[in-house]
Amino acid sequence: MMFGEVPALVVHPDFDHADPTRLLPRVPWLLWMHGRTVSKEIDPGRFLRLVREGIGSVAVDLPGHGERSSPELQTAPRALEVVERMAAEVDGIVDAVEALGGFDPDQCAIGGMSAGGMAAVLRLFAPHRFCAAALESTVGDLDALRGRELDDPTRIDRLDPMRRLDQWRPIPTLVLHNKGDEWVPIQAQRRFVAALRARETPSARVEMHEFSETGAPGEHAGFGRFGAEAKRLHTEFLARSFGMH
C-alpha cells in the first residue's frame, strides 16, 4: 500500500481476505520504522504477535529504502538526512491511516529500530497525538555518535534531542538495547533515558531493558537469541499502554 510516496505494510487483526471491502472495527495500532539498509518487511514476527493481541501495525519504508530504494541514502553519512525526512513524513502517514479506517487515531503508538527509532524520537519532540513509544537499538543522544556513525555536525546540533528536552511530552516509553552494541553505545541511550525519566509522570514511565551477548550482528541488528523475549516485552508494553491489560 502507498501513502502518498511512502510504501507501507498495513496489518489489521480483523482484515477479511474474502471481503477486503468490509468495514473494519477501529483498533489500537503501531506506526513502526525499520533501521538503515533494510525494509519494512524485515520483522514479520513483530506484526504477527501484535495482531494476535488485537493490535494493528503500519510499517513504512524509510526514504531510500525498500520499495523506494536509493543505495546512497542507505550509507551512514546520510543517516541523519534520512531520519529527518522520515520524521517529516509521519504526520501525513497518520492522516492517511485515519482516512483508511479501521485504526483508532486516539490509540496510536510510534516506534522504530536504529535509524527508524531516531526518526520516532525526533517526531516526538514536537506536538503529537501518540500515546506510547517503543524504541529499539537507537539513540536520543546524537552528540555521542558525532564522528562515529554520524558525520553531519550541522544536523546533529539542530536535531539533538538532548538539547530539546523542554519540548518532550511524557508518554509511556519502552527502550530495548544491547549492552555490547557496536554502533550505538549503550551509555548514550542510558543518558537519554535518564533525561526522559527526569520528566516522566507515574502514568508515563520510561522502561529500559538491556540485553547482553545476544549474538546479533554487531550486537545491534536485533536481539539474537533474545529476539522472542524482546518481542514479548514489546507486545506486552503496547497492550498495557493501550489499556488492554
CATH number for the domain spanning 103: value is 3.40.50.1820
Query: How would you label 52-89 residue by residue, b for 16+ Cβ within 10 Å and e otherwise?
Result: ebebbbbbbbbbbbbebeeeebbebebbbebbbebbeb
Domain of 81 in residue numbering reads as 2-17+24-241
Question: Model's pTM, two decimal places?
Answer: 0.95
Domain count of the fold of the chain: 1
Residue 59 CA to residue 43 CA, distance in Å, equals 10
Low-confidence ranges of the chain (pLDDT < 50): none
Q: So what's the pLDDT on residue 15?
A: 83
Q: So what's the pLDDT on residue 20?
A: 67
Q: So what's the pLDDT on residue 172?
A: 98
Closest CA to 30 of 174, 169, 170: 174
